Chain A
Amino acid sequence: MGPFAYYINKVEPFSVRSVQMEYFIDVQSVTKIYASERGPVHAVDRFSMQVEEGDFVAIVGPSGCGKTTLLWGLTGLHPFNWGRAYILGKEVDKPRRDVGIIFQQANLLPWRTLMQNIYFPLEIMKENLKDYRERIRDLIESVELTGFENHYPRELSGGMQQRASIVRALSYDPKVLLMDEPFGALDAYTRDEMDTLLLGIWKKTRKTIAFVTHRIEEAVYLANRVYVMTPRPGTNSAVFDINLPRPRPEGITMEKKYFDIVAKIKKRIVKDVEKQKEEGVYQSQAWSTVT
């Protein structure tokens, strides 16, 4: 019996389902365990999620619950240990062209101008930049960055940098967008602005979006559906359908209907944490580097 026996025994054989094409993102009980100096860290445990074409799904949960791990697993950069994840009907095993990723930090390359940063993925993919010129010009216009093409990142504000990174992710026209707390590093006002901007982009481009955030308000404002994760190891706690009308005006965040959903989700998360504490399995986030 090795040190991992506990985890191995805990994992049930995942159900083998046929690949269902109607789901753009199909996550089937994925599990991720990291090895660390203090023993294995069970980050995600048998999490499942289904996202249809053109859908906007948010994933929320207490910090350290494995939201980012889930998303990074979906990018193919840090594969899951167990379970399967399909994007567009194909199992995720490596980074793919039809998936765009937006990180927590804008992560622009400081030695490139805004325009060169936007062309960066196309250069890596060895695309002919000329074919994308018009498309990128429209994208830059839609995020209100026209006129800043030749600025270096250090000359741009945090919000502008993150807008540039959205254009960068959209530049090669991926069908699926994975967003990892993209506005987490921004101040509250810029964040709200960015949320509205993102809704506009989503409406225009009709991308399928999986959006990880720790802000329930943001998740409810943006998404069609909100997946709630339990504290670590993160697994499915609940799914909330957000039946707020579309298009959603900014004022909707002042309405009772909106607050009710937010409160319901918050209660759920608090309950999950309390339940884990009662069982004595709640892990403090002290040694978590993954949020």
Chain B
Amino acid sequence: MNTYEKQLEDAIPDFEEHAAEMHGQFDISSTVSTVRIHGWQQVIGILAVAIIILGGWELLIKMFDVPEFVFPTPSAIFKALVESFPNNYPHFLITLSELVAGYVVGAAIGLILAAVLTQIPYLEKIITPYILLLITTPTLALVPLLMLKLGFNIWPRIIAVSLASGPMVMINSVTGFRRTDLAKIALAKSYGASTFQIFRRIRFPLALPMIIVGLLVGGIFGLITAVGSDMVGGKMGLGNKLSYYSSLARMAHFFSIIIMISAIGISIWIIFSRIGKKWASWQE
């Protein structure tokens, strides 16, 4: 090749600012911003709705004399929750630790993979089909298989949780890291920024809102998988208690377990809303 021609390889740069592209199918950025409650009037309103729903529920069941094994009253659920709490607390802890352990491993791997893969487009194209396979395959289906290999302990569940949450974190983070704002990268380069500095100061902050969404979705998927794998086998965890109480038609206790599970889910949501508000609120 002619040396002159070699110098012509520079493509026409686009000096315009590149709008961030949204390509994840799981783009729920708006979820990250919290609903703000202004003033006591709204608090009273929210409480009033709760009282009407719970009171109406209680009243209807009492009026039509519905037996507890068909549908329990809120007061019975609350009683069951308090009474059986010492009994169910260890199960709660087990499900929570499955979730946390599996999630931390899965999210970390997903995040690192996303950061690395987006820098190497060729590798990204190769790996993506397998990640899609992981996402579309319900990880719960793998739990019995994992149990055959690893036994009826906590490990198959932790692996299932990380297999469920990791790809969710990854696919959203990939969407985030794909946002390239050439003008901002050129800005950093004009100060002599290294590749790592560009990653840390430009690419990562730019990706952060989507990463937080990924962490949130990954957490919820992890919770579903943790409860589900409890149900598949073994004698521990909240999922296991769910199938236990439903088999005995102890519906008040059954609902009290559901409340415990929702408490974890709501906590996940609150944690990431807070993080999102702090670190991703610039994106409005």
Contacts and interface: CB of A to CB of B under 8 A. Distances in A.
B21 interface: no
Interface in B166-220: 183-184, 186-193, 197, 201-202, 205-206, 208
Interface in A70-122: 72, 75, 77-78, 81-82, 94-97, 101, 103-105, 107, 109-111, 120-121
Nearest to A68: B15
Contact of A290 (B12, B187, B192): B12
Nearest to A113: B282
B282 A4 contact: no
Interface residues of B, number: 34
A interface majority secondary structure: loop
A128 interface: no
Contact of B13 (A94, A97, A123, A290): A290
B11 interface: yes
Interface in B258-284: 279, 282-284
A152 interface: yes
Contacts of B184: 107, 109
A81 B192 contact: no
B275 to A, nearest CB: 14
Contacts of B13: 34, 72, 78, 289-290
B11 A121 contact: no
B183 A103 contact: yes
A111 B212 CA distance: 15
Nearest to A100: B190
A123 B191 CA distance: 10
Given A35-B11, A72-B13, A104-B15, A125 B282 contact: no
Contacts of B2: 2, 4, 8
A95 B192 contact: yes
B7 interface: yes
A36 B11 contact: yes
B10 interface: yes
A242 interface: no
Q: Name, among B9, B10, B12, the residue most crowded by chain A CB atoms within 10 Å (CB to CB).
A: B12
Interface of B: 2, 4-5, 7-17, 183-184, 186-193, 197, 201-202, 205-206, 208, 279, 282-284
Given A72-B15, A289-B13, 17 more contacts: A2-B5, A7-B4, A35-B11, A35-B12, A78-B13, A81-B8, A95-B189, A96-B192, A97-B192, A103-B187, A109-B202, A110-B282, A111-B279, A121-B191, A125-B191, A289-B16, A290-B12
Identify the 10 closest CB pairs spanning chains A and B, nearest first.
Answer: A34-B12, A124-B191, A121-B191, A111-B282, A81-B7, A110-B282, A124-B193, A111-B205, A35-B8, A95-B190
Interface of A: 2, 4, 7-8, 33-36, 40-41, 68, 72, 75, 77-78, 81-82, 94-97, 101, 103-105, 107, 109-111, 120-121, 123-125, 152, 154, 172, 289-291
9 contacts: A8-B4, A35-B11, A77-B186, A105-B17, A111-B205, A111-B282, A123-B201, A172-B191, A289-B12
